[in-house]
Amino acid sequence: MSEEPKITVRNFNAYYSGKMALKDVNIDIPENKIMAMIGPSGCGKSTFLRSLNRMNDLIEGFTVTGGMMIDGKNIYDKDVDVTKLRRNVGMVFQKPNPFPKTIFENIAYGLKINKLCKSRDELSGKVEESLKEAGLWEEVKDELNKSAFALSGGQQQRLCIARAMVVRPEIILMDEPTASLDPISTAKIEELIQELKKSYTIVIVTHNMQQAARVADRTAFFMLGEMVEYSDTSVMFTKPEKKITEEYITGRFG
């Protein structure tokens, strides 16, 4: 793994009110690659994902030890601006969660609150660019003033991806982004994820092993809060190092 890591995690532990949720995680995630996390429910995947933009800080009693670095800077240092961090590390959730606003306003929101546009024309241009990047522009360009809730589930999820991208983060986190979608919408999102890695580093949690095999460059297998194995996806799914990884991948448990 010769690529320069965008994210470096060293001896990282996470606790909920003193109860360990992640134990001694060490991982390097290369820039402009897709890293998938697989493992049974409750194994720490989502905790790890949400630690990358400090969303777990919002949970009372959540604490960490060890280092989680982005571009060499520990994001848990006292001097880190968490608002800035979350702008740089976008998040897409399992269920599409558009705001109760128009399609246009959903995308424009982040630009407005972060004061990233000087004029209405610039705002419109960035909204269009982001919708194009998410593969949604052609489907919605004549309906920008309609409620985002009028879109299908798959379209709503692409809208949420566009909303995450519009403020130009460097990393996008995705927590089972296709779990609630039909196969056609899932295929579109997977295609989009592959396209996005040209511009972003992507970390995705998935319960769908085939999805990890299709989209990810690297895959990490988590079990009971520990990262059991981490390798190139092709290696993980053909020649896993650990017997327990093989048993999970072949469906013997989980």
Q: Residue 3 has what pLDDT? A: 73
**Helix, strand or coil, per DSSP, at residue 245:** helix
Phi-psi sector, 42: left (phi>0), alpha (psi -120 to 50), beta:
left
What are the φ/ψ torsions at residue 90 (nearest 5 degrees)? Answer: -75, 160
**CA distances for 128 relative to 96, 107, 110, 157, 231, angstroms:** 20, 9, 14, 16, 37
Give 208's pLDDT tier (boundaries 50, 70, 90): very high
Please give the Cα distance from 172 to 89 (Å, whole number): 6
pLDDT > 90: what percent of the chain?
96
pLDDT at 254 over 90: no
Q: Residue 118 has what pLDDT? A: 94
Instruction: Flag whether the pTM goes above 0.85.
Output: yes
Instruction: Count CB atoms within 10 A of the CB of residue 133.
Output: 19
Give 97's pLDDT tier (boundaries 50, 70, 90): very high
Q: Residue 175 has what pLDDT? A: 96
Tokens of 109: 């929101």
Q: Residue 1 has what pLDDT? A: 44
Domains located in the chain, CATH noted: 5-101+169-249 (3.40.50.300)
pLDDT at 2 over 60: no
pLDDT tens for 7-61 read: 999 999 999 999 999 999 999 999 999 999 999 999 999 999 999 999 999 999 9
Question: 5 - beta bridge partners?
Answer: 30
Q: If you average pLDDT over every residue of the chain, what do you get?
A: 95
